[in-house]
Homo-oligomer: A and B are copies of this chain.
Amino acid sequence: MITNLSSTKSDFQHKLSKLLAWESVSNKEVANTVDNIIANIKAKGDEALIDYSIKFDGVNASSMADLTLNATTLKTAFNNLDNKEKTALQVAADRVRIYHEKQKQVTWTYREDNGTMLGQKITPIGRVGLYVPGGKAAYPSSVLMNAIPARVAGVSELIMVVPTPNGITNPLVLAAAYLSGVDSVYTVGGAQAIAALAYGTQTIPKVDKIVGPGNIYVATAKRAVFGQVGIDMIAGPSEILIICDGKIDPDWIAMDLFSQAEHDEDAQSILLCPDAGFIAQVEASITKLLPTMNRKTIIAKALKERGALIHTKDITEAIKISNQIAPEHLELCVEDPESMLDAIKHAGAIFMGRNTCESLGDYCAGPNHVLPTSGTARFSSPLGVYDFQKKSSLIMMSDKGANTLGEIAATLADGEGLQAHAQSARYRIQKS
């Protein structure tokens, strides 16, 4: 049902590596299909976009007007929610906004004694495209998590694309778009939607950056248009790593493992615990609770193929293994999580203490749920306001500054054999 490992076994590292191994399926056929779609959208714009939407999404459309949702539609979707859902979405949006406000970077400058000014100017990205998957993986929380940081950053225009297979829209997704202040929504998806955002069509304006999750075609298209526009990360399957001291209801840990596994069959749920007895209890809870879950088939497969309960020597060793894994989600289900923080080197998000299950963070705690997967937390960060802002260096040399540095720059330029660099700097040295 789920693999049991022990860190003391000699083949542990080997087994752990096998467990963590993940190669994204990037096959040539998908890449070729995507290349064709992109070329077609570049050449024919709206016309191709409409054709693909009819072909892939089964929608009924004769013009882009049929693939455009207006502001009233979004507002109505929100107003028609029942009160409980409306409040939940509103509370989540507000909390996400408040947390992300703290990530806002501001321009700074400083002046040196000789009057030279240096600094870093912050500007928002101009136009952002937000991809939202349609069908079974339509998550309103994703809309909030992608759109709100962009709005906080001051992005001037936010365009959402969401496919509507067979014309069916998801009211919660539209309500979330309304709440987070999306400017316009087109009901297109797949590689064709990514191409339309990257290159523009007669109707959809070309954006500067594209964010949001999608299937293999969307991911491949994002990779292909990278450079033409900015993109966020290309996510692998979602993962949770729980470090637990065993002093908690084992049902809670089982359910936390399920909450990752229920996403899809490739999702990864791992427990690190120094208490062998507790691990056995968690396994019993898994057996007991699994039959009660609607998505039990997916959960069972994910746990079997990619899950593990790992017995460690102690908590210190659990932290070491966690740093090696660099998990997307890290739960510290322990008495005193704060004392462990310094030792944690890599993790997308850290859920501290027994009250803090991952799903609170997924929806409404405030921090972003778009996080680096597959060990990429070693070098990347959660989606944030900083992903929608960019920096420009500022340099304004005073007369004295140019005099002093002119000679330094010229010397280094000479060393690199760049005569015009040197001369350009020397011109600025004032004869005194």
Contact = CB atoms under 8 A, between A and B. Distances in A.
Interface residues of A, number: 119
Given A88-B412, A381-B391, A428 B227 contact: no
A216 interface: no
A195 B387 CA distance: 28
A396 B91 CA distance: 18
A54 interface: no
Contact of A380 (B262, B299, B390, B399): B390
Interface of A: 24, 84-85, 87-89, 91-92, 99, 102-103, 108, 110, 116-118, 120-121, 123, 125-126, 138-141, 172, 208-209, 227, 229-230, 234, 249, 251-252, 255-256, 258-259, 261-263, 293-295, 299, 337-338, 341, 344-368, 371-372, 374, 376-382, 384, 386, 390-399, 401-402, 405-409, 411-413, 415-425, 427-428
A144 B196 CA distance: 40
A172 B401 CA distance: 25
Contact of A381 (B360, B362, B390): B390
Contacts of A425: 357, 359-360, 363
Given A396-B337, A397-B356, A427-B252, A411 B350 contact: no
A77 to B, nearest CB: 13
A258 B401 contact: no
Contacts of A99: 118
Contacts of A341: 121, 394
Contact of A420 (B87, B261, B372): B261
B85 A350 contact: no
A348 B120 CA distance: 10
A230 B421 contact: no
B140 A415 contact: yes
B88 A398 contact: no
Contacts of A249: 427
Contacts of A368: 393
A74 to B, nearest CB: 17
Q: Which of A353, A356, A407 has most chain B Cβ within 10 Å?
A: A356
